[in-house]
Structure 1
Amino acid sequence: MRTLQGSTLLLLLLLLAAGCVHAYKPVIIVHGLFDGPKEFTNLTGFITKVHPETEVMTISQYDYKASVTTMWQQVKAFRNDIEKIMLKYPDGVHLLCFSQGGLICRGVLSTMPHHNVHTFIALSSPLAGQYGETSYLKRIFPDSVKKEVHVICYNKVGQIMSICNYWNDPHYRSSYLRKNNFLPVLNGENPPSKMSAWRENFLRIKKLVLIGGPDDGVITPWQSSHFGFYNSTEDVVEMRNQKFYKDDLFGLKTLDSRGNISVCIHSGVKHTEWHSNFTVFRSCMEEWLT
């Protein structure tokens, strides 16, 4: 009898101890255009400060100047690295993807069957495209204004540059749909034969967190970070009125109907400050990285 009671007590203690230990899921960070792992030192510190012992990995594929490589090439390379990491963590991982990296992560999630990504955080990403004269644009096309970029981007030569793969000129919609080989394909607006499978892959995530704000200064319109975008008169059409949402082309409406989308808006944050702003981390990211 004493032996049975002792065994029961030991079992209860072990169960209680197990309940007190919370293992946070690993976080994989994907960088944006013209940056790399070193830019995410602060963000890594924020995560490990509030969630001690969390493994945080920033992938160094196509960083800095190499980040202008075609998006599909980057998606393939990042997918290979992310898949290797996921195999080590069968209980799941989180993806935290900044700027252009948010679109790379969308490509990874859509084309990777059986992934185990729990939360996908898109941090100031041009998710519905980019159309604006910014410092980043001038680094690639120093002599062009936004009204001229479609001439460069919407052809085979232009499509070898990453920014052209999500350049979305609202005044040349038909050219965008026909000649942009990345974003319209990813959105299901010019769907590949595997679109149904891609949609199911994307819907494997449990949470989509969209972060952006009006003072970003790079993502244009800034509402693109929340899947909003310009119409032909350059008025912003919000996410739920976009065709890809209403027709649920890649699963966004389904995620929303499940209550699995969180939208976070912060003013006063410039584009290069999102990943080093502790307030943004605490209010927009922390609760989803468990």
Structure 2
Amino acid sequence: KNKKIVLSGLLNIRLLKLFILLLLNLKLLWTLFGACLVATVIGYKPVVIVHGLFDSSGVFVELLSFINQSHPGTNVSVIDLFDRSSSLQPLWKQVEGFKEAIYPIMQNAADGVHFICYSQGGLICRGILSTLPNHNVHSFISLSSPQAGQYGDTDYLKYLFPQFMKSNLFHFCYTGVGQRISICNYWKDPHHTDMYVNGSDYLALLNSERSNPNSTVWKKNFLRIKKLVLIGGPDDGVITPWQSSQFGFYNDNETVVEIKDQDLYLRDVFGLKTLNARGDLFLCSMAGVEHIKWHSNDTVFNTCIEKWLV
């Protein structure tokens, strides 16, 4: 009789262990199911990243980590084109190359994609968004990009044009030869506006400062974006003035005119005023960030980028 009791007790213990194991497996299955359900419901959009001057896809290691930590499973494409010295090629040539690489990614993303475009890459992305009529970009995040132009004696300028200063670079940039170099495509001398308008083959066209028969279509294309996020800061050290990252720029006295007082905003030349009226224009300014640190700064990501990648 005692032996039967012991055997019965052992059986009950085994059954209890099996029951607990079953519960743990059910919990694991529910956790996995829940994770799949969340991924399905949230459905993070693919992210496309475009690099800047003298950069390559390899500089975005930290940014990729930030995205994967905050939005696990996100498909991120860092476009590996026009790296390093090749980034000096004319911007329209780069627009066509990046467009060809990015368009298939868009076609495979039924719910759209996000753009994170750094420095010179921000201007390339504007060219893509303006000239691609059926793009499906949701958030266009312009990360410290000279959207209103560049005019400053920076280390980049000294490296590229050691014989020039900002005050006389217009002599070279606003020529046919100068326009074959990317930085001249967005060099904007506030003291020689007429020469800029007539000589700039890229930025002056994008901004419709120069006569452009495609301006209406380009505006319509650009306004397909759902959000425009303009990120920059006073300690950048390269983008000059730094407010150019948010469409501010110098007048002829080198006093910065902010975005909402700029003619291209007031006349809604390519859609900035419309985006603001829609509630889809966002400026994020952050001090203490050097130009080469924007994409590796976790505070920048958490404050200015993360919430726009859903």
CA distance in 1, matches of 2:156, 2:36: 51
- Report the alpha carbon displacement of residue 191 of structure 1 after superposing the two structures with TM: 3.5
CA distance in 1, matches of 2:178, 2:96: 19
- Report the alpha carbon displacement of residue 15 of structure 1 after superposing the two structures with TM: 12
Please give the per-residue CA displacement for 1:218-257, whole angstroms capped at 9, x wherever unaligned: 0000000000000000000000111111111111110011
Query: Structure 2: which amino acid aligns with 1:281?
Result: F
**1:55 paired residue among 75, 89, 114:** 75
**1:33 paired residue among 53, 70, 94:** 53
CA distance in 1, matches of 2:235, 2:103: 35
Q: Structure 2: 5+ residue runs without aligned partners?
A: 1-32
Secondary structure of residue in 2 paired with 1:146: coil
Q: Structure 1: 5+ residue runs without aligned partners?
A: 1-13
CA distance in 1, matches of 2:203, 2:282: 22
Rg larger for? 2
Q: Aligned pair in 2 of structure 1 residues 195, 120: CA closer, same or farther (>3 Å)?
A: same
- The residue aligned with 1:289 is 309
- Report the alpha carbon displacement of residue 165 of structure 1 after superposing the two structures with TM: 0.3
Please give the per-residue CA displacement for 1:101-127, whole angstroms capped at 9, x wherever unaligned: 000000000000110000000000000
CA distance in 1, matches of 2:34, 2:60: 37
- Report the alpha carbon displacement of residue 100 of structure 1 after superposing the two structures with TM: 0.3
What value does the CA root-mean-square deviation take over the aligned residues?
1.5
Q: Aligned pair in 2 of structure 1 residues 262, 156: CA closer, same or farther (>3 Å)?
A: same
- The residue aligned with 1:253 is 273
CA distance in 2, matches of 1:121, 1:103: 11
Query: Structure 2: which amino acid aligns with 1:99?
Result: S
**1:108 paired residue among 128, 137, 146:** 128
Query: Structure 2: which amino acid aligns with 1:192?
Result: N
**2:257 paired residue among 230, 233, 237:** 237
Query: Structure 2: which amino acid aligns with 1:255?
Result: L
| Percent identity of equivalent pairs | 54
Deviates more, 1:217-226 or 1:238-247: 238-247
Secondary structure of residue in 2 paired with 1:148: coil
- The residue aligned with 1:11 is none
Deviates more, 1:83-92 or 1:276-285: 83-92
**1:182 paired residue among 184, 190, 202:** 202
Q: How many residue pairs end up in the alignment?
A: 277
- The residue aligned with 1:3 is none
Query: Structure 1: which amino acid aligns with 2:123?
Result: L
- Report the alpha carbon displacement of residue 171 of structure 1 after superposing the two structures with TM: 0.2
CA distance in 2, matches of 1:16, 1:38: 30
- The residue aligned with 1:129 is 149
**1:276 paired residue among 296, 301, 304:** 296
CA distance in 2, matches of 1:171, 1:17: 58
1:66 aligns with 2:90: no
CA distance in 1, matches of 2:34, 2:239: 48
- Report the alpha carbon displacement of residue 143 of structure 1 after superposing the two structures with TM: 1.9
CA distance in 2, matches of 1:47, 1:18: 20
Secondary structure of residue in 2 paired with 1:49: helix
- The residue aligned with 1:82 is 102
CA distance in 2, matches of 1:71, 1:197: 20
- Report the alpha carbon displacement of residue 144 of structure 1 after superposing the two structures with TM: 1.2
Q: Aligned pair in 2 of structure 1 residues 288, 182: CA closer, same or farther (>3 Å)?
A: same
Query: Structure 1: which amino acid aligns with 2:283?
Result: V
**1:197 paired residue among 217, 242, 267:** 217
